[in-house]
Amino acid sequence: MTARKKNRPPPWRIGCAGWSIPRDSAASFPEAGSHLHRYAQVFNAVEINSSFYRNHKPATYRRWAGEVPDAFRFSVKVPRTITHQARLADSRALLCDFLAGVEELGPKLGCLLLQLPPSLAWDAGVALPFLALLRRLHEGPVACEARHVSWFNAEVGRELAAHGVARVAADPALSLRARVPGGDRHLQYLRLHGSPRMYYDSYPDEVIDRVARRLQQQGHGTAQRWCIFDNTAHGHFTRNALDLLARLRRL
């Protein structure tokens, strides 16, 4: 392998939390087809956030997989019944039920997104059995968005890495450590929620430029990088993702 290939940045996936197309961004997408089909002609990834609130039928996942190109990938959010209600404990039946549907995405399942409640502190007695169970049931990439400061230390990072789970780098971040990816380094996953007001504010050009440069950095063992915009309240997510895509294509 040449030095140039070794230094090449890993493939990136850019998308949004959901595939709705705001009216002011509609001209950037094809006119024909469902929202998902149109969205997938522009972006190469999306988060399915509706799975957080309810389980979808296997046929629904199969239909979604059939509407997107072969290279497109879905990130699927783990249900709140597991993360927020069961709080990771005694959740085997819930997890099996969830995975039975998600697996219908086939090779278009890019990763699972495990978003934890802000009140859920690291508890090795609960978290480690859950991660071990998850890994017995699912072999694909997993990204964990922890939202309690106790998850952002070196020991927890090592445990996540040992279970093949990447820790999300989120904005706004709880701490300096929370700004950068952690855990399993094979996957890097950025979730941009809007700042300073989460979900509401758009990102300025200088932030988009900084994210683009970050995605173009050398991989150092990273196989793929995701960047998902979740500032959905006023529709800024789509425009910010389009702007990032344009910058990456110019680099």
Per-residue pLDDT tens digits for 42-96: 999 999 999 999 999 999 999 999 999 999 999 999 999 999 999 999 999 999 9
Residues 6+ apart with CB under 8 A from 222: 10, 185, 186, 187, 188
Three-state SS at 73:
strand
Pairing of strands 165-167, 182-183: antiparallel
Instruction: Specify the pLDDT at position 6.
Output: 54
Q: Which of 3.40.50.150, 3.30.1360.120, 3.20.20.80, 3.20.20.410 is the CATH number of 11-250?
A: 3.20.20.410
Average pLDDT over residues 184-213: 96
Average pLDDT over residues 103-122: 98
Lay out the sheet containing 109-115: strands in order across: 169-171, 187-192, 224-229, 12-17, 45-48, 73-77, 109-115, 142-145, 165-167, 182-183
Instruction: Specify the pLDDT at position 92.
Output: 97
DSSP E strands in 64-213: the ranges are 73-77, 109-115, 142-145, 165-167, 169-171, 182-183, 187-192
User: Per-residue confidence at 218, pLDDT binned at 50, 70, 90?
Assistant: confident
CA-based angle 173:177:183, to the nearest 5? 110
Average pLDDT over residues 164-183: 94
Reply yes or no on whether the pLDDT at 8 is more than 80.
Answer: no
Radius of gyration of the chain measured on its C-alpha atoms: 18
**pTM of this structure:** 0.94
Reply yes or no on whether the pLDDT at 177 is more than 90.
Answer: no
Reply yes or no on whether the pLDDT at 3 is more than 50.
Answer: no
Percent of the chain with pLDDT over 90: 90
